[in-house]
Amino acid sequence: MKKKLVVLTGAGISAESGIKTFRDSDGLWEGHDVMEVATPEGWYKNQELVLDFYNKRRQQLKEVNPNLGHIILAELEKDFDVYIITQNVDDLHERAGSTKVLHLHGELLKVRSIQNKNLILDWTEDLNTGDFDANGHQLRPHIVWFGEEVPALEEAIDITETADYFAVIGTSLQVYPAAGLISYVPSTTPVFYIDPKPIAIANIRNKVETIAKFASEGVADLRERLNSF
């Protein structure tokens, strides 16, 4: 029976494929204040701006590919029962071949009804004002904006609580509630922390092995260390 490897990924792994994060040094996300494009208030203030912003992100996604970090995580399914919990809204894990991917913050290639949050549709092209669900309600990006609940959180906690190994890749562990998952890792489970500029993980009971490298190189190291157990 394969051991369960749970991996929490953040913007750092996608950045190597060319996808920018709003946590760039200038504090902007592709030139926009995140409060304008990633909050319910921003949506109600300027719906056209928000739709245009995510349309551009959706088009950009077609121009990038999974990197070695994504690919190795998919390959690890040969030896481990791998669950990816990601803060990223791209589909690079899936395109690399990972089969169990839980998106905490939504998915760029999906939209949902503003009236019914459970009415979710696959969407690969532009989303515009006047694109309605079957009941005539406007569709919006299927993204968890700041200030909104994280529907997948309970499932993420359940997965984390049964991990034999837990890895954190490319996330600063500063965005909650995702960062709080670390507290649900069983105390005897080894934790691997991959980040080129790692910070101290507060209030953790586990043994933490830090790999101070970018995601692709760090995941290659992770594979070697897991195979040594």
Residue bearing the bigger pLDDT, 7 or 204: 7
DSSP state of 76: G
Q: Rounded CA gap, 194 and 89, in Å?
A: 20
Percent of the chain with pLDDT over 90: 79
- Is residue 163 scored above 70 in pLDDT? yes
- Is residue 24 scored above 60 in pLDDT? no
- Is residue 157 scored above 80 in pLDDT? yes
Read off the pLDDT of residues 97-154 as tens digits, 9 standing for 90 and up: 999 999 999 999 999 999 999 999 999 999 999 999 999 999 999 999 999 999 999 9
pLDDT level of residue 27 (50, 70, 90 thresholds): low
pLDDT level of residue 179 (50, 70, 90 thresholds): confident
Q: Rounded CA gap, 125 and 33, in Å?
A: 24
DSSP state of 29: B
Does the active-site annotation cover 105?
Answer: yes
**pLDDT at residue number 171:** 86
Residue with tokens 């515009």: 128
Percent of the chain with pLDDT over 70: 95
Read off the pLDDT of residues 39-85 as tens digits, 9 standing for 90 and up: 999 999 999 999 999 999 999 999 999 999 999 999 999 999 999 99
Q: Angle between the 68-75 and 215-227 helix axes, to the nearest 10 degrees?
A: 20
**pLDDT at residue number 26:** 54
pTM of the model: 0.93
Handedness of CA 65, 70, 39, 32 (dihedral sign): negative
- Euclidean distance between the first and the last CA atom of the chain, given in angstroms as a whole number: 15
- Is residue 190 scored above 60 in pLDDT? yes
List the structure tokens of 213: 């490298």
| Residue spans of alpha helices (H) in the chain | 11-15, 34-37, 40-45, 47-61, 68-75, 92-96, 153-160, 215-227
- Is residue 23 scored above 70 in pLDDT? no
Catalytic residue among 70, 93, 105, 142: 105
- Is residue 25 scored above 60 in pLDDT? no
The residue among 172, 101, 111, 167 whose CA lies nearest residue 137 is 111
- Is residue 175 scored above 80 in pLDDT? no
**pLDDT at residue number 16:** 93
List the structure tokens of 91: 């589909």
Handedness of CA 90, 94, 95, 97 (dihedral sign): positive
List the structure tokens of 155: 């499932």
What is the overall mean pLDDT for the chain? 92
CA angle 66, 185, 69 (to 5 degrees): 15
Q: Rounded CA gap, 66 and 18, in Å?
A: 10
- Is residue 178 scored above 80 in pLDDT? no
Count CB neighbours of 149 within 10 A: 9
DSSP class per residue in 170-211: S--S-STTGGGGGGGS-TTS-EEEE-SS--PPTT--S-EEEE
Q: Rounded CA gap, 119 and 199, in Å?
A: 39
